[in-house]
């Protein structure tokens, strides 16, 4: 069985090499139209573009697998969260062909990765660092977290991600109430996470990166709940990463 940490370090190097290649050739991501079937130069440039695309996907995939690395002193957990945030930012810069910023993010990722200690989490070791919660939602959230732990240990990973979405909704509804003294469930009972975040934008100053985390959790939750062309089954690593993200958001929303 491969080591997720070694695989991730390899994906970092592959992406760095792909980036250096495309920057040195001064290429963009758009393929040039050429009527000639066999054009060595064009084929080589297309190969470089494809290599960069594959490297970005490889980085994202191997980042999920890092969630299987855990350290009881909590240092790995926080560093993995930082890495996942940077991977999201890297992917966004790739979409707009901002290669220079990608290089900077890759350097940051490599620096944090060097701090990780590889030790696979066992199911009976799974412990959640629960932040202090407002009394108005504490019992509901704790009930969901206990259920979340049971689902994860039973390998019900779709259920785990759905519960993460529920926990997040409860927390954000509470945050809206604290900011406005109004219960948004009374005026907009079916409001989704995306619209709720939009309403909170003018009321709450979010920490950097938190909206990206919420967006990712919501995206995975939607894929788990709603019927798609192809069924979505989160891996153990994906589910664990979503749990880490969810608990990290709770800490940031209700920090003392």
Instruction: Read off the pLDDT of each residue in 22-51 and give the average, rounded to a whole number.
Output: 74
139 burial type by CB count under 10 A (0-12 exposed, 13-18 middle, 19+ buried):
exposed
Confidence of residue 47 (pLDDT cuts 50, 70, 90): confident
The per-residue pLDDT for range 73-96, each reduced to its tens digit, is 566 778 888 898 899 889 989 989
The per-residue pLDDT of the chain, averaged, comes to 80
Q: Can you spell out the DSSP letters for 150-188?
A: HHHHTT-HHHHHHHHHHHHHHHHHHHHHHHHS--HHHH-
The full set of domain ranges for the chain reads 4-113, 128-253
Model confidence pTM above 0.75: no
- pLDDT recorded at residue 244: 83
| Residues in CB range of 169: below 8 A, 6 or more apart | 193, 196
69 beta partners: 120
- Does residue 189 come out as left (phi exceeding 0), alpha (psi in the -120 to 50 range) or beta? alpha
Percent share of the chain, pLDDT over 90: 21
Identify the residue whose tokens are 């604290």.
178
Coil, helix or strand for 191?
coil
- List, in sequence order, the alpha helices (H) in 66-156: 75-95, 99-113, 135-153
Mean pLDDT along residues 61-83: 73
What whole-number distance in Å separates Cα of residue 177 and Cα of residue 182?
A: 5
Confidence of residue 72 (pLDDT cuts 50, 70, 90): very low
User: What is the C-alpha end-to-end distance of the chain, expressed in Å?
Assistant: 42
The rounded distance, in Å, linking the Cα atoms of 43 and 40 is 5
CB 221 within 8 Å of CB 165: yes
Which of 173, 202, 207, 177 lies closest to 190, judged by CA?
173
CATH class of 128-253: mainly alpha
Q: 139: which 2 tokens?
A: 């019992």
Q: What is the arithmetic mean of pLDDT over 43-68?
A: 85
Percent pLDDT > 70 in the chain is: 80
Neighbour count for residue 165 (Cβ, 10 Å): 22
């Amino acid at each position: 069985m491969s080591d997720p940490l070694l695989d991730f370090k390899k994906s970092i190097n592959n992406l760095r090499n792909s980036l250096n290649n495309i920057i040195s050739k001064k290429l963009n991501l758009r393929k040039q139209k050429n009527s000639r079937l066999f054009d060595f130069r064009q084929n080589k440039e297309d190969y470089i573009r494809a290599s960069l695309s594959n490297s970005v996907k490889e980085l994202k995939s191997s980042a999920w697998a890092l969630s299987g690395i855990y350290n009881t002193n909590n240092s790995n957990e926080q560093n993995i969260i930082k890495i996942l945030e940077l991977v999201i930012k890297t992917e966004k810069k790739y979409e707009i062909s901002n290669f220079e910023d990608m290089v900077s993010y890759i350097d940051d990722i490599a620096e944090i990765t060097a701090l990780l200690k590889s030790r696979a989490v066992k199911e009976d070791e799974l412990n959640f660092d629960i932040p202090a919660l407002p009394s108005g939602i504490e019992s509901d959230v704790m009930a969901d977290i206990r259920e979340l732990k049971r689902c994860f240990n039973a390998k019900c990973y779709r259920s785990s991600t759905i519960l993460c979405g529920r926990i997040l909704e409860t927390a954000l509804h509470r945050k809206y109430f604290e900011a406005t003294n109004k219960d948004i469930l009374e005026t907009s009972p079916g409001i989704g996470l995306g619209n709720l975040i939009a309403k909170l934008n003018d009321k709450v100053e979010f920490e950097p990166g938190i909206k990206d985390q919420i967006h990712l959790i919501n995206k995975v939750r939607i894929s788990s709940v709603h019927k798609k062309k192809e069924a979505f089954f989160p891996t153990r690593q994906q589910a664990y990463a979503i749990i880490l993200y969810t608990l990290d958001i709770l800490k940031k929303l209700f920090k003392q």
